[in-house]
């Protein structure tokens, strides 16, 4: 089961990868970071082994 990290542990891991704070990412970036498909991420979330997805926008429009 997924358990959130304590603040000091999370920040030390982020610093290793060059980040100074948590941030929200879109699905495409999440997939690049984790190398996990969208369906596998959904399955892990349902099993309680991953963070829950936060819906940012109902109909996001990317400028591509």
Q: Is residue 62 in some structural domain?
A: no
Q: Is residue 30 in some structural domain?
A: yes
What pTM was estimated for this model as a whole?
0.59
DSSP string, the chain: ---PPPHHHHHHHHHHTT-SS-----HHHHHHHH---HHHHHHHHHHTSSPPPP---SS-----
- pLDDT, position 39: 92
Question: Region 25-35: what's the mean pLDDT?
Answer: 86
Q: Is residue 8 in some structural domain?
A: no
Q: Of 9-13, 51-55, 59-63, give the lowest mean pLDDT range.
A: 59-63
Bigger pLDDT: 1 vs 29? 29
Residue 44's domain spans which residues? 25-51
Q: Is residue 36 in some structural domain?
A: yes
Q: Is residue 5 in some structural domain?
A: no
Question: Region 6-34: what's the mean pLDDT?
Answer: 86
């Amino acid at each position: 089961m997924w358990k959130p990290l304590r603040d000091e542990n999370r920040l030390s891991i982020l610093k290793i990868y060059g980040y100074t704070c948590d941030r929200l990412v879109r699905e495409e970036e999440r997939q690049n970071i984790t190398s996990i498909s969208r369906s596998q991420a959904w399955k892990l979330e349902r099993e309680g082994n991953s963070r829950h997805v936060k819906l940012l926008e109902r109909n996001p429009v990317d400028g591509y």
